[in-house]
Amino acid sequence: MRFWGVRGSIPAPGANTRRYGGNTPCVEVRCGDELLIFDLGTGARSLGHALVAKKKPVRGSIFISHYHYDHLQGLPFFGPMFLPTSALDVYGPARNGQSVKQLLSGQMMPPYFPVTAEGVFRAKLTYTDLAATQTLTLGPAQVRTIELNHPGGNMGYRVECQGRSLVYATDLEHGTEMDAAFYAFAQDADVLIYDAMYTEDEYHGRTGPARTGWGHSTWEAAVQAANEAGVKKLVLFHHDPSRDDAGMDRLLRQVRKHRPDAIAARESLVIKL
């Protein structure tokens, strides 16, 4: 897996976020020849450039967790979408009576965007609505789904391939009856990618405004989830856009007192299983 965007809510480029990166979520997963892409935040632009630069037809599957802007901002700038040689299967949950195709197309229209998806995308595209507790088989990979606690809904994914497993769980808020189901979903995964946007002090408003109900989790909850599920490696993800590199270093040091295996996702990080 390779991380192309790791930041949450809004891009945060600049000198103070250069080491971890300022792009919003996009994760590339390779399983044999199978390409899986999770979310199309601003990090998807660089991923698209890398795929197009290989000068080979792009074949792959895109999984959208939910439709907040930080997870879709890279869609109109994802290079393979504009090439007739590309073949992409797009998966995501239906929401509010709209299909994944309708939801993605809806963000690319005037006056919010100058061109429509139907007008400029030339790739061979298929769209599939997903439900929670669904299992897909894509070549040697199996992808399972789960509904997570987030305003408007959010889908988590588990990928299993050739005896290895990872869980992608961005944008979830802990502390509800849904936690137990998630722990079971993530049980014994090799890698857990988990929303660790806040500290407990930030979340409960002991420093700044309370973030309860905002749909995000804390590093303390990430550690608990990793422990409850018995995962081998915890990857902190969806970093707060106001947390600079030095702040991320401090946060990671705290996490490693409880989970020495933990790492904080950063752009260009590659994890091989």
Q: How many CA atoms are closer than 13 Å to the CA of 202, on its beta-carbon side?
A: 15
Number of helices (H), then strands (E), in the chain: 7, 13
Q: Give the span between the Cα atoms of 213 and 174, in whole angstroms.
A: 10
**What are the boundaries of each domain within the chain?**
2-270
Q: Give the span between the Cα atoms of 172 and 96, in whole angstroms.
A: 19
As a whole-number percent, the residues of the chain with pLDDT over 70 amount to: 100
**Would you tell me how many other CB atoms lie within 10 Å of the CB of residue 176?**
12
Please report how the helices 178-185 and 219-229 are oriented relative to each other, as an axis angle in degrees rounded to 10.
Answer: 60
The predicted-structure confidence for 98-119, as pLDDT tens digits, reads as follows 999 999 999 999 999 999 999 9
What sign results for the dihedral spanned by CA atoms 154, 189, 265, 105? negative
Fold for the domain defined by 2-270: Metallo-beta-lactamase; Chain A (3.60.15)
pLDDT of residue 56: 94
Q: What does pTM read for this prediction?
A: 0.97
Q: Which of 62, 103, 107 is nearest to 81 (CA)?
A: 62
**37 in Cβ contact with 60 (< 8 Å):** yes
How far from 61 is each of 75, 87, 92, 95, 211, CA to CA, in Å?
14, 9, 11, 20, 33
Q: Which of 154, 151, 235, 135 is nearest to 189 (CA)?
A: 235
As a whole-number percent, the residues of the chain with pLDDT over 90 amount to: 99
pLDDT of residue 155: 98
